[in-house]
């Protein structure tokens, strides 16, 4: 048995919340128009079941269905509002049992082809956050995921993206905070010609344990995915990365690339990495690679020879190491949000 209660924010603020009203137009908005709401909206089991069925339609693997979809839910509450920008305020606290579910059917009710979604979950007690999103045929969706655990509680983040025919998914993610955090990300390229691009950064420090598990499943022909992951380990932190590319028999002419690199920034930090490739068809292009190392002393010396003090030089190099994977975008400024988080984190860590 599990239920969730979310207290109303104690301070008025201007966040917009995305509701599940794309799945259930009668909820959380009037006639589908956008609005702000700071009150939780209670959803019945019927509503949840409908959401689950939407996701299930796109998950062909029974094992995956079982492991990712919610069980034993008696009650769920969510925060209302309708917008493609989603954010939990930092002072939001969870008082009861510890699961949050987000469901997004991105772009189904819009005429636009391009969407941005920012999901930031800041939690102050043990919790599981689940995000399920379906990218409609031919739509471009860019998602920024900022996963933070604020105290030394275990936090699990489960994310499932299902990309339909010709859909393009671009995810930028930062995993950070204290305590034990596990992030499972499944990208399911379900439709022919669908594409995904995942950029992930793990920031570990002090005595944190951060675990990122990424699985990209190519289930249709001519699908394409590119995964880039950077891990920074400070202090006595432990980081683990498992990256798996799965190419199904029905996915010929697909391309999949995984490139993960990590920097051990102290002698006490541990970083584990395991890239996997599972290919069950011919005529595909795939590669995977993982490296671990320390900061390039030659690059550090190069910057210092240009009068840049050692501490600033280290900051610049570490920032360069992670920012390298975030492409500059002329049409989208949301990655800048994550980049500023990275810059601040690195400045503080190096200082």
Partner 1 sequence: MIPIEQKPLLEIRNLTAGVESKPILRGLNLTIYAGETHVVMGQNGSGKSTLSYVLAGKPDYVVMEGEIWFKGKNLLEMSPEARAGEGLFLAFQYPIEIPGLSMGTFLKTAVNEVRAYRGLPSLDARTFLALQREKLAELGLSSDIMGRSVNEGFSGGEKKKNEILQMAMLDPDLAILDETDSGLDLDAIKQVTAGILKMKNSQRAFLIITHYPQIVEYLQPDKVHIMINGRIEYSGGIELAALLEKEGYEYFKLQSYQN
Contacts with partner 1, residue ranges (CB under 8 A): 296-299, 301-310, 312-313, 316-317, 319-325
CA distances from 53 to 47, 57, 186 (A): 10, 6, 18
Tokens of 90: 């930092």
**Contact status, residue 230 vs residue 321, Cβ threshold 8 Å:** yes
The CB-of-273 to partner 1 minimum distance in angstroms stands at: 19
Nearer to partner 1, 289 or 309 (CB): 309
Of 124, 132, 188, nearest to 157 by C-alpha is: 132
Nearer to partner 1, 190 or 323 (CB): 323
Nearer to partner 1, 15 or 290 (CB): 290
The CB-of-296 to partner 1 minimum distance in angstroms stands at: 8
The CB-of-316 to partner 1 minimum distance in angstroms stands at: 6
The CB-of-167 to partner 1 minimum distance in angstroms stands at: 29
Nearer to partner 1, 188 or 322 (CB): 322
Can you point out the beta strands (E) in 205-306? 209-218, 224-233, 238-247, 255-264, 270-279, 285-293
Element (H, E) at 350: helix 335-350
The CB-of-48 to partner 1 minimum distance in angstroms stands at: 43
The CB-of-309 to partner 1 minimum distance in angstroms stands at: 5
Give the C-alpha separation, 334 to 176, whole Å: 18
SS3 153: coil
Nearer to partner 1, 77 or 319 (CB): 319
Nearer to partner 1, 11 or 307 (CB): 307
The CB-of-322 to partner 1 minimum distance in angstroms stands at: 7
CA distances from 250 to 60, 62, 132, 165 (A): 12, 17, 24, 14
Residue 22 phi/psi, 5° resolution?
-70, -30
Of 238, 239, 204, 223, nearest to 318 by C-alpha is: 204
Nearer to partner 1, 283 or 298 (CB): 298
């Amino acid at each position: 048995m599990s239920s969730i209660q979310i207290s109303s924010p104690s301070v008025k603020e201007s966040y917009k919340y995305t509701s599940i009203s794309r799945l259930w137009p009668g909820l959380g908005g009037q006639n589908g128009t956008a609005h702000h709401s700071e009150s939780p909206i209670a959803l019945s089991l019927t509503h949840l079941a409908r959401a689950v069925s939407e996701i299930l339609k796109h998950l062909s693997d029974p094992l995956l269905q079982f492991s990712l979809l919610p069980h034993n839910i008696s009650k769920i509450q969510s925060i209302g509002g309708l917008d493609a920008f989603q954010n939990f305020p930092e002072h939001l606290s969870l008082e009861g049992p510890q699961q949050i579910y987000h469901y997004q059917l991105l772009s189904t009710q819009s005429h636009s082809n391009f969407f941005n979604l920012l999901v930031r979950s800041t939690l102050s007690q043990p919790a599981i956050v689940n995000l399920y999103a379906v990218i409609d045929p031919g739509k471009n969706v860019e998602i920024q995921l900022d996963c933070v655990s604020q105290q030394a509680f275990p936090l699990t983040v489960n994310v499932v993206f299902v990309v339909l025919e010709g859909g393009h998914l671009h995810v930028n993610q930062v995993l950070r905070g204290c305590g034990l955090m596990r992030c499972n990300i499944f990208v399911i390229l379900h439709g022919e010609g669908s594409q995904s691009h995942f950029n992930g950064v793990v920031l570990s420090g002090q005595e944190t344990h951060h675990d990122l598990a990424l699985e990209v499943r190519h289930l249709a022909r001519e699908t394409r995915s590119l995964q880039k992951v950077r891990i920074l380990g400070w202090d006595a932190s432990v980081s683990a990365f498992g990256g798996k590319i799965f190419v199904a028999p029905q996915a010929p002419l697909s391309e999949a690339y995984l490139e993960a690199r990590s920097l051990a920034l102290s002698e006490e930090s541990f970083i584990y990495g395991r890239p996997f490739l599972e290919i069950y068809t011919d005529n595909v292009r795939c590669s995977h690679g993982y490296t671990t190392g320390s900061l390039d002393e030659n690059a550090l010396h190069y910057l210092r020879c240009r009068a840049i003090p050692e501490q600033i030089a280290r900051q610049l190099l570490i920032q360069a190491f992670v920012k390298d994977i975030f492409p500059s975008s002329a049409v989208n400024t949301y990655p800048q949000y994550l980049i500023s988080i990275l810059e601040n984190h690195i400045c503080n860590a190096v200082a």
